[in-house]
Structure 1
Amino acid sequence: MLETASLIVINLVIAGIIGFILGYLVGKNNFPKIQSIHNDRVDDSRDDRIKSTLNPIFRKNSNLDYKPLILTTPKPTGKDPLTKIKGINSKIEIDLNNLGIYHFEQISRWSNKNSEWIEEFLLLPGIARNNQWAEQAKILTLGKDTPYSLQVENGEVEVD
């Protein structure tokens, strides 16, 4: 019995070593570090390849604890025109959509920490809180208009 147990343990150790070596080799070949011929610096192209395949949430060093609710796709009714919120232009709307924010309802549920997270992630210091995006979104969610959204609808404000 003791002899059988020791053989099992030896086989497990050997299998673990082989698995570690194979895992290392496969991982090393999937993400090779490119060394420059003229100097010893590592090429940053590897990091760019990895970042381009990641969800945008993980591309930046923002604290994920306060990340607002995001969706993978807009609701079947379509996405809301976020440019009706003061402080959101077409570029910011695209950034929010790429992040998974498509509807006034999502923004209306943001806390101050969520707004702060968005500002840090999109590099828009103070914009969401100063323009009160969450408060405007609450009004727009109810189907009502804000003074700014009326100006956008009437073409009095450029959102590009």
Structure 2
Amino acid sequence: MFEIASLIVVNLFVAAIIGFIAGYLIGRPKNAKIDSIENPNYTNANESKLDTKAKPAINPVFRKNAQLDYKPLVLSSPKPIGKDNLQKIKGINSVIENNLNNLGIYHFEQIAKWSNKNCDWIEEFLHFPGCAKNNQWVEQAKILQLGKETIYSQKIENGELEAD
């Protein structure tokens, strides 16, 4: 009985070693360099010139200092009908719309549900203090989600104005 138990333990130990080796070989970066692993401050001039798209993207939520408690509802992708033109809201230009889309905000309905704390979070996230509250994004979004138009959105639609 003792012999069988010892054989099981030896087999488990061998399997663990094989598993660690296989995990290391599969999970290591393809261009891993020992210098960069041993010295975290190591920088190679050639590495800085590499395409930044090759690096995995970090969710923008985790790069900001805003409290996640007040983060508004976000979606992983727009609804099948497509995303709304958020530039119809006064104060949202193409850059802000792109940042909101990257965050997961695609529709007027999402903005219409924001609270004051959500607005504070978005303003801190975008680094534009007061932009959502001063331009009344929530109120405009409530109108636009119903299919109605604001004066500003009508001017955008008619081409009288370009988005901010």
For normalisation by structure 2, the TM-score amounts to: 0.70
Q: Which residue in the other structure is 1:134 paired with?
A: 138
Shift of 1:59: 6.1
Answer yes or no: is the 8 Å Cα contact 2:112–2:142 preserved in 1: yes
Q: Which residue in the other structure is 1:42 paired with?
A: 43
Q: Can you list the C-alpha shifts for 1:70-114, whole angstroms capped at 9, x where unaligned?
A: 334333333222111111012212222233322101111223333
Identity %: 61
* Pairing partner for 2:56 from 49, 53, 57: 53
Answer yes or no: is the 8 Å Cα contact 1:67–1:114 preserved in 2: yes
**Counterpart secondary structure, 1:11:** helix
Q: Which residue in the other structure is 2:117 paired with?
A: 113
Answer yes or no: is the 8 Å Cα contact 2:90–2:163 preserved in 1: no
* Residue 113 to residue 2, structure 1, CA distance change in 2 (3 Å): farther
- The whole-number CA distance in structure 1 between the counterparts of 2:104 and 2:22 is 38
* Pairing partner for 1:95 from 94, 99, 102: 99
* Residue 12 to residue 145, structure 1, CA distance change in 2 (3 Å): same
Q: Which residue in the other structure is 1:14 paired with?
A: 14
- The whole-number CA distance in structure 1 between the counterparts of 2:84 and 2:127 is 22
**Counterpart secondary structure, 2:117:** helix
- The whole-number CA distance in structure 1 between the counterparts of 2:34 and 2:13 is 33
Matched, 1:67 2:71: yes
Matched, 1:81 2:85: yes
Instruction: Give the number of the structure with larger relative contact order, counting CA–CA contacts within 8 Å between residues 6 or more apart.
Output: 2
**Counterpart secondary structure, 2:132:** helix
For structure 1, list consecutive stretches of 5 or more residues without a partner in the other structure: none
Q: CA RMSD in A?
A: 3.3
For normalisation by structure 1, the TM-score amounts to: 0.72
Q: How many residues align?
A: 156
- The whole-number CA distance in structure 1 between the counterparts of 2:133 and 2:91 is 10
* Residue 34 to residue 110, structure 1, CA distance change in 2 (3 Å): farther
52-61 vs 76-85, which moves further: 52-61
* Residue 81 to residue 25, structure 1, CA distance change in 2 (3 Å): same
Answer yes or no: is the 8 Å Cα contact 2:61–2:103 preserved in 1: no
- The whole-number CA distance in structure 1 between the counterparts of 2:12 and 2:95 is 56
Q: Which residue in the other structure is 1:157 paired with?
A: 161
Q: Which residue in the other structure is 2:24 paired with?
A: 24
* Aligned residue type for 2:23: G
**Counterpart secondary structure, 1:30:** coil
